[in-house]
Structure 1
């Protein structure tokens, strides 16, 4: 798939998905053929997508990036989700050599010291495992929503990811958090108990705090950095997969 063809396909698909509900959006994508992979962080929006995949028995691979620094509550929810929905969640771990190289260069918790060091940690623990999870995929399904942050305010339903050569599908792009919570409650979807403790967006434990009243949903992620820099690279356009030695992350 060329970038031009991929972009045109994504734009056409975006228009089609806008007319459908969540279940039909997912089913339509699978009807196009190719390998579809949904990467879940086990947050409430991702749990809603998992529920829709399970309800429709859709041929979508469900995968998670088990970074090695997740909250115990998140790890427990992986097993609970598999049991609840009767599906398997593929786990992708960072390579020990990458973790060792990071620690040698920055220290185990060096991500607090600079944006460069934090991006390098995300590269080792998230971006490289993601690359393995998406091998051979035509469609990458995510839980991105427009209401999560200013960086995501224009999230489309479908977009071409030129770096990875696939189409990214964001089936909840137009859902707000109230709709997400209502769906989860009405359908008995298991959710991370951290949500009830002030964590609307949950990532690695050392890099996530509860938010304060009035703060945006993702304010608790990498809270020590400036807002415009607080992404890990998974969903930033043209974000190159960095080496641990790179200083341009």
Structure 2
């Protein structure tokens, strides 16, 4: 970090700024800055960041339960942009113990929290403990019930600490799904082919299904649970802290 950084003040100052301006601010202030890419429509923030800095550092989470199309998409993205894509995997022993005790589909009965904790949250926490700032593709319109107040810049209270403050940038917070897809189509950048089959929000294969006309995109995730539970934990800690 090159100078003191006040996330609350800058979030207000940049509340209506373009994603590119927010990304430029992040790159100006932080050397140890990483972009989190999930293999869904956050390809837009990756494309924007790459055009500002061809050496942008990018990581993704491989839960071991992704769709084949997602793995293929990740490889297309890696070659299209010529980037090194760091793939984070769950702790082998923790995952093995969980599956041995509860099987491969316990989440349908017990909820997705424990499975996501092992496959997503722990690897993400491990990574973020080593960085100063990260970039996400979060948008307010992704989930009106839980993400409607996502700021463009924030202090990450879920994965950071007093000893290790962590700054989180959400450059697409103000973007709509329509704007995302206008960007993808106009610039002809890669996208996950599952979107052509009705998948609006893409996660793990057992927990994701296509949405019907007029359904919100998050209704295709963990459809057997209450709508208020449709967060895996990657962002939930910060969302809860604001409520």
Q: Same fold (TM over 0.5)?
A: yes
Aligned to 1:141: 135
Which of 147, 150, 159 aligns to 1:152? It is 147
User: 1:38-79: CA deviations, max 9, x gaps?
Assistant: 1111112x1011111221125532100011000000000111
Which of 21, 25, 31 aligns to 2:22? It is 25
Aligned to 1:101: 97
Aligned to 1:120: 114
State how far apart, in whole Å, the 1-side matches of 2:181 and 2:92 are: 37
Answer whether contact 1:27 1:58 (CA < 8 A) is retained: no
The alpha carbon displacement at 1:124 in A equals: 0.8
What number of residue pairs does the alignment pair up? 232
The alpha carbon displacement at 1:229 in A equals: 1.2
Q: CA RMSD in A?
A: 2.0
Which sits farther off after the overlay, 186-195 or 55-64? Answer: 55-64
The alpha carbon displacement at 1:90 in A equals: 0.6
Aligned to 2:233: 233
Q: SS where residue 220 of structure 2 aligns?
A: coil
Q: SS where residue 28 of structure 1 aligns?
A: helix
Which of 18, 42, 45 aligns to 2:39? It is 42
TM-score (norm 1): 0.88
Which sits farther off after the overlay, 15-24 or 184-193? Answer: 15-24
* Unmatched 5+ stretches in structure 1: 241-249
State how far apart, in whole Å, the 2-side matches of 1:130 and 1:169 are: 16
* Matching of residues 1-249 of structure 1 within 5 Å: 9-44=6-41, 46-57=42-53, 59-115=55-111, 118-149=112-143, 150-165=145-160, 166-237=166-237
User: 1:81-140: CA deviations, max 9, x gaps?
Assistant: 01111111110011221111111232111111112xx21110110001111222322212
The alpha carbon displacement at 1:238 in A equals: 5.9
Answer whether contact 2:147 2:239 (CA < 8 A) is retained: no
TM-aligned CA distance change 1:59 to 1:164, over 3 Å: farther
Q: SS where residue 218 of structure 1 aligns?
A: helix
TM-aligned CA distance change 1:153 to 1:163, over 3 Å: closer
User: 1:25-44: CA deviations, max 9, x gaps?
Assistant: 11111101241111111112
User: 1:201-234: CA deviations, max 9, x gaps?
Assistant: 0000000010111111110100000011121111
Which sits farther off after the overlay, 102-111 or 213-222? Answer: 102-111
Q: SS where residue 217 of structure 2 aligns?
A: coil
State how far apart, in whole Å, the 1-side matches of 2:196 and 2:140 are: 22
